[in-house]
Amino acid sequence: MTAVERFSRRHDEDLTHRAGDAVYRDLLPATPPGPGQQYAFEVDLDACSGCKACVTACHNLNGLDPGESFRTVGVLHGGAPDAAYHQTVTTSCHHCLDPACMNGCPVDAYEKDSATGIVHHLDDQCIGCGYCTLTCPYEVPRLNPRLGIVRKCDMCAGRLSEGEAPACVDACPTGAIAIRVINTAVVAADAVVGHAARTRESGEPGAMVPGAPPSWITVPTTRYRTERVVPADARAVDHHAVAPAQGHPPLASMLVLTQVAAGAMTWAALGGSEGAAVSWVAVAVGMIAMAISVTHLGRPLYAWRAVIGLSHSWVSREIVVFGAFIALSIAAASGGGSALGGAAALAGLTGVICSAMIYAAAHRWWWRAARSIPLFLSTAVAGGLALAVVVNAWAGSSGLVGPAVGVGAVAAMGLVADAAALRRASPETDAARTAALLGGALRRAHRLRVWLTLVGATVLALGAVVSGASTAGGGAIATLGVMQMLAGAVIERRHYFTAAAGPRMPGGFR
């Protein structure tokens, strides 16, 4: 029977929404979780009709804003023409055993209930940085612009504690969603061992449903069950419908400027000419970057909380390290000696690596550590050296052509490396979706970035040449070249966010 036919039969037999113990007898566990257990959603795919009553009920009961949702419904399709496969999939927070949202939060605004396993978001603690929206592979936490904080599903914990079903469970007319008590050890073993076996057999990462992120990343607890055979080519209907993600302009600018500042301080620490002046410029650029980063927050007045998660969050580590970098750079620029200059440079480069690890921890191809760390360090090298060339050009120094050419070489190598990686992208991969974005919706901006980078490097070299004859002219031309290169770098860093495409649940936010 179809899901609708099954509901009709249950309605005729008066088994649906009848007062008494029969109401939730199939949808809630008889006892709460014990040691080594937790609550989890269970979805009967064969019963899901895609009516979205669960979405509406969740929205109404939780008082969500327009456009805000804790639950979505998507569609899988595939199979042969004479045996087509069509399946609706409802999804929400999976209350993972190893939640990435909690691990990455710099202010400890998440907690996993030790008794129920439910992952709660602490609204009062949240500063609205949105990093959990990037680290969660299922994109469950969503930033509420009106409130300036992130919100997510808590499995209607208040209702569960009183023996009532969550809104989605209560509203589903076919009883497709239920709450179960699961054994956490079994779920963990299935995610690591069972899905590893599926990977060897199919060549695809083990996931809850086709196209979803690999379960080993966070070990989600939601169980999807079906008696139908899922075809190997099953995909979400929106699998190929990629669209640019949020660009995060403050983050893009902050990343570029902190890396340039770290590179400039490294130049000064290595004994580059005009080291004191370059150090002060590095301090100014670094402070501007830190000020810009605060504008990214939904609740900027609580930015001081961002160091709370130092033991587990790369965001907290980045903030602490760059704070130390600014302090050490000021001390070094004030005549503190070469030892302080070296310490400042080391802190700056360490902060650059921390920045890369924030995104590498999200397990997306475009943000992988093998790309992010070299990319961020190359920005530090090229940007810092370019800044030093400008300072020296205004000071009338000679011998700047070599460093200027080095800036152009590093920048060109970055362009070639990205182009080569995207050109080799295999179909149906995250790399292919990123390439489709850069060659489609982001094409004009991507070309502008390449043009600004190459032209800026050329103008910088021209300024280095002219500075030998005219200090003011060479300095002005070199400054123009650096501004062009910085603009190109900011566009590239925006594409670092907008072009990131990864596996998603069917019907997830895109």
Helix (H, G, I), strand (E, B) or coil at 349: helix
* Separation between Cα atoms, residue 205 and residue 198, nearest integer Å: 7
352/239 Cα distance (integer angstroms): 34
Q: Identify the CA nearest to 28 among candidates 41, 11, 15, 46.
A: 41
Express as a percent the part of the chain with pLDDT over 90. Answer: 73
Give the global pTM. Answer: 0.90
Q: What is the mean pLDDT of the chain?
A: 90
CA distances to 257, 457, 501 from 481, rounded to whole Å, are 16, 6, 32
Instruction: List the domains of the chain with CATH numbers.
Output: 3-236 (3.30.70.20), 249-415+426-498 (1.20.1630)
CB 166 within 8 A of CB 24: no
The pLDDT value recorded for residue 330 is: 96
Q: Is 465 helix (H, G, I), strand (E, B) or coil?
A: helix
User: What's the pLDDT score for residue 222?
Assistant: 95
| 376 Cβ neighbours under 8 A, 6+ residues apart | 255, 259, 352, 353, 355, 356
* CA 498/CA 187 separation, integer angstroms: 33
pLDDT at 274: 86
pLDDT computed for residue 196 by the predictor: 54
Q: How many Cα neighbours within 13 Å face the side chain of 117?
A: 28
Q: Quick one: CA dihedral 191, 196, 198, 202, positive or negative?
A: positive
| Closest-CA residue to 155 (of 191, 207, 115) | 115
Res 24: pLDDT: 52
- pLDDT at position 238, please? 83
> Which among 260, 324, 263, 316 is positioned nearest to 288, based on CA atoms?
260
Torsion of CA 428, 429, 431, 433, to 10 degrees: 50
Residue pLDDT, tens place only, 404-443:
999 999 999 989 988 888 888 887 788 888 999 999 999 9
Specify the 3-state DSSP secondary structure of 79: strand
**C-alpha span between 198 and 204 (Å, rounded):** 7
The confidence score (pLDDT) of residue 255 equals 97
Query: What does the pLDDT profile of the chain (510 residues) look like in tens digits?
Result: 566 666 667 666 655 444 444 445 578 887 899 999 999 999 999 999 999 999 999 999 999 999 899 999 999 999 888 888 999 999 999 999 999 999 999 999 999 999 999 999 999 999 999 999 999 999 999 999 999 999 999 999 999 998 899 999 999 999 999 999 999 999 998 887 655 545 444 445 678 898 889 999 999 999 999 999 889 889 888 887 788 999 999 999 999 999 999 999 999 999 888 889 999 999 999 999 999 999 999 999 999 999 999 999 999 999 999 999 999 999 999 988 889 999 999 999 999 999 999 999 999 999 999 999 999 999 999 999 999 999 999 998 888 899 999 999 999 998 998 888 888 888 778 888 899 999 999 999 999 999 999 999 999 999 999 987 888 999 999 999 999 999 999 999 999 999 998 888 987 655
Amino acid at 196: A
Q: What is the pLDDT of residues 432-464, one digit of tens each?
A: 889 999 999 999 999 999 999 999 999 999 999
pLDDT of residue 501: 87
